[in-house]
Structures are given as structure tokens and as C-alpha cells.
């Protein structure tokens, strides 16, 4: 429990003692605070608490959200490798959760007294400017438009800086896991893999729901000679795809629609695809989304979904992602999504796990961000760049540890309704 010897020490020792009480073990990382004091083990990364405001954030938002707010504002930093620091914290959290002691009323009282001495008590700090501020009913069309705009309308220039020349903002595919191929090559391999699974032929009609910056739309039109209707809620994306279609002479094969996926987009498509958009649909809304996929595809047509998943114990998107990256996002276990697709009358004919490919994809994006840090700051500001660093480091770790997955699910609309027969 708390050590009276810390009474005359600096803020770092006081905070380390609080951590001992709360988590049932010593901090696995070194700690340095705004007064210059240090505590914790040597030879590890150091968590730097630059301002006591970070403690207030944690008081009002304990856990992931408070830590994320403090990190993106620079109130907390890591001296050392952020990824290794997060790995160490995850490992310690798993180990200490088994032995975590009960926190008594006396422990809580000591914690409050310590926080008062550190000047941490007070009203909640204003949220970071990069944090989303959505209003309206969950997954209403207006709120969904605002949620998509928050992330995808950030800046075409920034995404052009971060992504490869395909502008594909989704998991790539390395045909050989040990390949050292560049990201652009792996993204094109993913696009071709999808086209092959959809069995696209010249003249086919393809509906691309959540088309992003048009990576698949443009690739399918150019390399498979299909007619593509591309749907996106993000105005910046729609403008980019239209410009690219004109520049490549594909105006007669590509139609871009800046609209909600629930708005009319025609029926009878030979194929429908949605790449990492299903996570934005919402939990309660997903059955209707799956039925929409069925209804817009002709009998015998094929549907491919590339979609992220999370385990049953941690559905949703996570506090940081939902606050800063993809508001209202919902991920579920793969099996539950397959059940929903089948419930819409579709036959699931193939599932391919791609989790390990996302580890490589995110690592490539992170290298680009770190190597061009000054350019990222110029494009989206220091706080925005810190959001993306935390997002990519944390996301890469989640895929690496299997806490998140991504899969391609291939389905077919049956030629005959279920139960039909002679």
C-alpha cells in the first residue's frame, strides 16, 4: 500500500504509489512528472506527465479515453518507443488483473488526498479540438454524415501523403507473407483478389458502397472494363474519385454518388462490394444493411465485404477510436457478422482472414507518418499528427495481438429464394 516515505518526494513518486495501490503492482515503465521528479524502473521507456491537467483528464475519464486525451494534447508523452511502451502496459495489465487487490475506502481516501496535494482536482478540462462532437440520433443520416466527415474529410492532401499511389485506405494483401513488396504492390494485389472473387467480366455492373478514394472503383473500371457506381458520404472523396475518373478517361464507366448508402442506388448489380465500411453501419442497423446488399444484387450475383472484427469481450470500436477516429463505429466477432449476412438470405461461400496483412499495412503507414512527421504536422497540426500516431501504433498492436481482426467475406444471392423447389 502507500508508502509514508513518499510524503516528501516529488510528484512522480506519489503517482507511482497510487499506481501500486490501484493496479496491484509496480509501474512497468519509468515515470517523469512536470516537477522533474522520476520514479519506476530503469532501462525502460519513460512516461512523461508534462502537466497536472493530465491527471484531471484521468479523473473525469478513467482509462483509455483520458489517457488518449492527455497524449494527443501533449500533456502526456512517451520518451522511447510508443509501441513498446504500449506492449509493456498491456502485458502488465493482463498479469496484474489476476492479482489485483480490492481497493478499500482508506485507499481511496489516501488517493484523494494525494491528488489534492498534486493539484489534480478540478473541473473537467476541455476536450481536445480533434475529438469528435456529434449530435443527433445514433446512426441517423445526418449524424452518420458528420461521423464520416470527421475522419474522411480531414484532408485529401494528408491522405495523399500517408497512403500509397492507389489511395487505398484499407488492409492490403501480400500474396506471400514473407514478401518485402512495397505497400502499393500489396494494395493492387488486394484489389485484383477482390475482382477475381467477384468474377467480374467486361460490361458487368458493380456497386462499390463506401468507395473511399476510389481505389477499387478505378481499378475495376480500368482493368476489368466494368461499369461502377461508387457511393461515399465524404465530399472530399467524391471529388477526388470524379477527378481521377476524368483524368484516366473512365468517365463513361464510373458514376460517383455522394450520398448515404441507404439512399436509392439502383438494383440488379452483378456484384456489390464494401471495403471496411460495414464497421460504420452500427450494430442495430446491420441486419438492414445486409438485406440491402441482398436486394441490390441480381440473383446469382456476388457480394464481397472486407470488414474488421473484435472479440466478444470487447465489441464496438474502443473509447479512443470512437472519440477521435471513427465515431459510432461498431465491430463484432466474425461469426456474428456471417450469421447476419446469412440471415439476409445470402449464401456465404468463402471467408478469408487477413489480420496478419493488416499488421504489415499499418506498419507501412506508420513508417510514412514518422519519416514525414514535419509534413504531417504541416498538413493537420501537431495534435492531429499525434492522434494519427496513437491510432496507428495502437491499431497495429491490436491486430498483432489478435484483439482485432479483418476478413473478406464472399457471399452469393441465391438464384432461387430459400425453400423454393419443384
pLDDT 10s digits, 334-393: 999 999 999 999 999 999 999 999 999 999 999 999 999 999 999 999 999 999 999 999
> Which of 85, 117, 149 is at the close of a domain?
117
Q: State how far the alpha carbon of 198 is from the alpha carbons of 1, 104, 165, 303, 304, in Å.
A: 61, 59, 24, 7, 7
Is there a domain that residue 129 lies in?
no
Span 30-53, mean pLDDT?
93
**Domain coverage including residue 272:** 141-412
**Does residue 106 surpass a pLDDT of 80?**
no
For the chain, how big is the Rg over CA atoms in Å? 24
**Does residue 275 surpass a pLDDT of 50?**
yes
C-alpha–C-alpha distance, residues 31 and 18, integer Å: 12
Report the pLDDT value the prediction gives residue 59, as an integer from 0 to 100.
85
Report the pLDDT value the prediction gives residue 6, as an integer from 0 to 100.
42
230 and 320 part of one domain:
yes
308 and 353 part of one domain:
yes
pLDDT tens digit sequence for 125-169: 999 999 988 788 878 888 877 777 777 767 899 999 999 999 999
110 and 245 part of one domain:
no
Residue 30, φ and ψ in degrees, nearest 5: -70, 160
Joined together, the cell numbers standing for residue 188 give 493492387
Is there a domain that residue 420 lies in?
no
- Tell me how many degrees the CA angle 129-135-138 measures, rounded to the nearest 5: 125
148 and 53 part of one domain:
no
CA-wise closest residue to 293 among 304, 284, 285, 308: 304
33 and 164 part of one domain:
no
Residue 361: give its domain's CATH number: 3.40.50.150
Give me the residue label for grid cell 441465391.
414
By the 8 A CB rule, do 409 and 341 touch? yes
Is there a domain that residue 371 lies in?
yes
Is there a domain that residue 42 lies in?
yes
pLDDT tens digit sequence for 295-336: 999 999 999 999 999 987 666 568 898 889 888 888 999 999
Report the pLDDT value the prediction gives residue 97, as an integer from 0 to 100.
56
- Per-residue pLDDT band at 36 (split at 50, 70, 90): very high
CA-wise closest residue to 261 among 237, 240, 242, 280: 280
Report the pLDDT value the prediction gives residue 1, as an integer from 0 to 100.
38
By the 8 A CB rule, do 350 and 199 touch? no
Residues 6+ apart with CB under 8 A from 44: 28, 29, 30, 80, 85, 88
Q: What is the DSSP code (8-state) at residue 19? A: H
**Does residue 273 surpass a pLDDT of 50?**
yes
C-alpha–C-alpha distance, residues 103 and 233, integer Å: 47
- Per-residue pLDDT band at 293 (split at 50, 70, 90): very high
91 and 151 part of one domain:
no
Beta strand 30-33 with 46-49 is: parallel
162 and 250 part of one domain:
yes
108 and 165 part of one domain:
no
The number of distinct structural domains making up the chain is: 2
C-alpha–C-alpha distance, residues 37 and 51, integer Å: 13
> Which of 55, 84, 117 is at the close of a domain?
117
In which order are the strands placed within the sheet that holds 30-33? Answer: 38-39, 30-33, 46-49, 76-79
Report the pLDDT value the prediction gives residue 183, as an integer from 0 to 100.
95
Is there a domain that residue 18 lies in?
yes
207 and 79 part of one domain:
no
C-alpha–C-alpha distance, residues 364 and 348, integer Å: 32
Is there a domain that residue 25 lies in?
yes
To the nearest whole percent, how much of the chain has pLDDT over 90? 68
Rounded to the nearest angstrom, the gap between the alpha carbon of residue 194 and the centroid of all alpha carbons in its chain is 21
299 and 174 part of one domain:
yes
- Tell me how many degrees the CA angle 231-237-240 measures, rounded to the nearest 5: 115
290 and 402 part of one domain:
yes
Is there a domain that residue 131 lies in?
no
SS3 130: coil
> Which of 117, 151, 177 is at the close of a domain?
117
- Per-residue pLDDT band at 7 (split at 50, 70, 90): very low
C-alpha–C-alpha distance, residues 395 and 376, integer Å: 19
Report the pLDDT value the prediction gives residue 176, as an integer from 0 to 100.
77
Residue, of 149 and 72, whose pLDDT is higher = 72
15 and 106 part of one domain:
yes
Q: At what angle do helices 355-371 and 373-400 cross, to 10 degrees?
A: 160
By the 8 A CB rule, do 25 and 92 touch? yes
CA-wise closest residue to 67 among 377, 292, 390, 309: 390
pLDDT tens digit sequence for 249-264: 999 999 999 999 999 9
Is there a domain that residue 158 lies in?
yes
Amino acid at each position: 500500500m502507500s508508502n509514508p516515505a513518499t510524503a516528501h518526494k516529488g510528484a512522480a513518486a506519489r503517482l507511482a504509489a497510487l499506481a501500486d495501490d490501484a493496479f496491484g503492482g509496480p509501474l512497468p515503465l519509468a515515470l517523469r512528472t512536470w516537477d522533474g521528479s522520476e520514479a519506476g524502473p530503469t532501462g525502460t521507456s519513460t512516461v512523461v506527465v508534462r502537466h497536472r491537467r493530465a491527471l484531471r483528464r484521468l479523473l473525469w475519464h478513467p482509462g483509455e479515453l483520458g489517457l488518449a486525451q492527455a497524449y494527443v494534447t501533449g500533456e502526456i508523452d512517451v520518451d522511447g518507443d510508443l509501441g513498446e511502451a504500449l506492449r509493456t502496459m498491456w502485458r502488465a495489465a493482463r498479469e496484474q488483473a489476476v492479482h489485483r487487490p480490492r481497493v478499500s475506502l482508506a485507499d481511496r481516501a489516501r488517493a484523494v488526498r494525494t491528488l489534492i496535494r498534486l493539484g489534480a482536482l478540478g473541473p473537467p478540462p476541455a476536450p481536445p479540438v480533434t475529438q469528435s462532437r456529434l449530435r443527433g440520433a445514433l446512426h441517423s443520416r445526418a449524424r452518420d454524415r458528420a461521423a464520416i466527415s470527421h475522419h474522411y474529410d480531414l484532408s485529401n492532401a494528408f491522405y495523399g501523403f500517408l497512403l500509397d499511389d492507389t489511395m487505398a485506405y484499407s488492409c492490403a494483401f501480400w500474396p506471400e507473407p514473407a514478401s518485402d513488396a512495397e505497400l502499393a504492390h500489396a494494395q493492387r494485389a488486394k484489389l485484383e483478389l477482390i475482382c477475381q472473387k467477384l468474377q467480374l467480366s467486361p460490361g458487368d455492373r458493380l456497386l462499390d458502397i463506401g468507395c473511399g478514394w476510389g481505389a477499387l472503383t478505378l481499378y475495376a473500371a480500368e482493368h476489368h472494363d466494368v461499369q461502377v457506381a461508387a457511393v461515399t458520404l465524404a465530399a472530399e472523396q467524391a471529388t477526388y474519385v470524379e477527378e481521377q475518373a476524368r483524368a484516366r478517361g473512365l468517365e463513361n464507366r464510373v458514376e460517383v454518388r455522394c450520398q448515404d448508402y441507404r439512399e436509392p442506388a439502383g438494383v440488379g448489380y452483378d456484384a456489390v462490394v464494401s471495403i471496411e465500411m460495414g464497421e460504420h453501419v452500427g450494430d442495430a442497423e446491420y441486419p438492414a444493411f445486409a438485406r440491402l446488399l441482398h436486394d441490390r444484387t441480381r440473383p446469382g450475383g456476388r457480394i464481397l465485404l472486407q470488414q474488421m472484427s473484435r472479440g466478444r469481450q470487447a465489441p464496438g470500436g474502443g473509447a479512443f477510436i470512437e472519440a477521435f477516429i471513427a465515431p459510432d463505429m461498431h465491430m463484432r466477432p466474425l461469426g456474428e457478422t456471417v450469421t447476419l449476412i446469412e440471415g439476409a438470405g445470402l449464401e456465404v461461400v468463402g471467408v478469408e482472414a487477413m489480420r496478419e496483412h493488416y499488421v504489415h499495412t499499418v506498419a507501412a503507414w506508420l513508417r510514412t507518418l514518422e519519416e514525414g512527421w514535419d509534413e504531417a504536422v504541416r498538413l493537420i497540426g501537431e495534435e492531429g499528427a499525434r492522434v494519427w500516431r496513437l491510432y496507428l501504433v495502437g491499431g497495429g498492436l491490436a491486430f498483432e495481438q489478435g484483439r482485432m481482426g479483418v476478413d473478406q467475406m464472399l457471399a452469393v444471392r441465391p438464384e432461387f429464394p430459400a425453400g423454393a423447389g419443384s
